[in-house]
A and B are shown apart, each in its own frame.
Chain A
Amino acid sequence: GQNIDQPTEMTATEGAIVQINCTYQTSGFNGLFWYQQHAGEAPTFLSYNVLDGLEEKGRFSSFLSRSKGYSYLLLKELQMKDSASYLCAVNSEYGGATNKLIFGTGTLLAVQP
């Protein structure tokens, strides 16, 4: 089956670093995406990993290990506006079709002063 696991909630302090983990078991793998979603709003694209290793983009970095079915999103210098839900999504093949995104349930991050 298709399965993506993320922690449900996390809390961190303003200015600190937080790591949000994602593990997946999917049939086929064409890349992993991270999205940020503020309450009541649409998800916005943060990062994309298709090869093993670290991708850095400003305060946000994302890591992928395909052999372990594991990714993490690293947020540095946390700001209050980073309080949001972070969605892990895997581009997979299932149901007889390719390139379908499977989303985790999201990790709700609360940044405290």
Chain B
Amino acid sequence: DGGITQSPKYLFRKEGQNVTLSCEQNLNHDAMYWYRQDPGQGLRLIYYSQIVNDFQKGDIAEGYSVSREKKESFPLTVTSAQKNPTAFYLCASSKTGRTPQHFGDGTRLSIL
């Protein structure tokens, strides 16, 4: 079955450490997205990519970086510059920018 796979499900980061969250999709979708979800807040867009080798900053890109070297993969790195990284991170993909986005199961990141 096609879908979006995020790993790991839980991740712990030490102070000053960069960590990378994985997102893979086999839906043949062109667009991929990273969101952050905090309690009591809506999903906020971190980065998005509408085509391979191209990506744009979302609303809260500071302290994060991404790459889109393959259509299937859109990894997110949370750098040490992100001062409040504890959150639920969701990756999504869609066929085009106007079709429904489908989400992975998420990665919960915590600070040690």
Contacts and interface: CB of A to CB of B under 8 A. Distances in A.
Interface of A: 4, 30-31, 33, 41-45, 48, 87, 89, 91, 95, 97-106
Given A97-B56, A98-B97, A100-B48, A87 B42 contact: yes
Interface of B: 33, 35, 40-45, 48, 50, 56, 58-59, 90, 96-98, 100-106
A106 B42 contact: yes
A7 to B, nearest CB: 14
A15 B102 CA distance: 29
A91 B105 CA distance: 22
A100 B96 CA distance: 11
A42 to B, nearest CB: 4
Contact of A42 (B50, B59, B97, B103): B103
Query: From DSSP, what is the main secondary structure of chain B's interface residues?
Result: loop
A44 B103 contact: yes
A80 B103 CA distance: 23
A103 B42 contact: yes
Given A87-B43, A104-B42, A105-B41, A31 B101 contact: no
Contacts of B33: 101
18 contacts: A30-B98, A33-B100, A41-B105, A43-B103, A45-B100, A45-B101, A48-B100, A89-B43, A91-B98, A99-B96, A99-B97, A99-B98, A100-B58, A101-B33, A101-B45, A101-B101, A105-B41, A105-B42
B98 A100 contact: no
Contact of B45 (A30, A33, A98, A100): A100
Nearest to B57: A95
B102 A45 contact: yes
A43 B40 contact: no
B98 A42 contact: no
B1 to A, nearest CB: 15
A4 B42 contact: yes
